[in-house]
Amino acid sequence: MAIKLNAEIRNVAGKGAARSVRNAKNIPAVIYGEKKSPVAIELNGHDFEMLLKQPGLRTKLFQIALKGGNEDAVLMDVQYHPVSDAPIHADFKRINVKEPVNITVPVEVINVETSKGIKLGGVLNFAVRKVAIRGLIDDIPEKIVIDLADLNIGDTIHGSDLVLPKGIELGLHQAELAFAIIGGKMPEEADKPAAAATAAPAAAPAAAPAK
């Protein structure tokens, strides 16, 4: 379901105008894309800050209500104040809801503690924590989950192994990425050097030199 957002069009752009918007406790933002001119807008500061506490906003459709019509868009970026950490600007990108969009979503691992490989002493290397996917905005998931329960030491989850929802496909260059690896040695492999050392025969004493 789309997130509805009310906004006012800013007729004046620039740093000074943006500062005035912030002084009024609002957030300056911009909508761009779809081969249309960018539109500078102003959002209610309190409402937008509350909205940012919701998870998965980067995968949601926003319907931004403006005087003269609505804009369908996705949230691309939020800039924050370096000291107060309050949002100071937002970027939205227009989309056509009937066409696939390219979006990056987080990757999450589950069942780490119960993983076969971890129980045997393996170490998880969670190497890539975001994946680029493509699909209709209404089908885009908030995250992609990797289940480690059946993974053993030496197993690797590549992009091509990810379980994707129906209608969603991997973005470019994602299939060969190694997202999660359980490294280490199997217990029997780790025991081999010690066993070999124990089984090695003692060296024969050196022969006494002939007189």
**Amino acid, res. 55:** P
Whole-angstrom Cα distance, residue 207 to residue 204?
Answer: 9
- In Å, what is the CA distance from 42 to each residue of 17, 45, 96, 101, 177? 11, 9, 22, 25, 39
Domain-embedded: residue 201: no
Please tell me the predicted confidence (pLDDT) of residue 154. Answer: 95
The total number of residues shown for the chain amounts to 211
Residue labelled with tokens 């800013």: 10
Task: Say yes or no: 61 and 126 in one domain.
Answer: no
Same domain, yes or no, for 85 and 124? no
pLDDT of residue 210: 56
Q: How many domains does the chain have?
A: 2
pLDDT for position 207: 55
Residue 38 phi, psi (nearest 5)? -65, 150
- The whole-angstrom separation of Cα 1 and Cα 4 is 9
What pLDDT, on the 0 to 100 scale, is given for residue 19?
Answer: 87
- Residue 196 included in any domain: no
In this prediction, the residues of the chain whose per-residue pLDDT falls under 50 are 195
Q: Identify whether residues 66 and 26 lie together within a single domain.
A: yes
Please tell me whether residues 37 and 111 are part of one structural domain: no
Separation between Cα atoms, residue 184 and residue 118, nearest integer Å: 9
End position of a domain, from candidates 51, 67, 94: 94
Structural domain contains residue 34: yes
182: its two tokens: 């359980």
Look up the domain containing 157 and give its range: 101-190
Calpha distance 56→71 (Å, rounded): 20
Six-digit token pair at 75? 């949230």
Q: Which structure tokens are listed for 40?
A: 């500078």
**The domain boundary residue, chosen from 94, 124, 146:** 94
Q: Which of 94, 124, 156 is the last residue of a domain?
A: 94
CA–CA separation, 10 vs 102, rounded Å?
A: 28
Specify the DSSP element, H or E, that contains 116. helix 116-119
Tell whether the torsion through CA atoms of 152, 157, 160 and 165 is positive or negative.
Answer: positive
pTM exceeding the 0.85 threshold for the entire prediction: no
- Nearest C-alpha neighbor of 140 from the set 175, 164, 174: 164
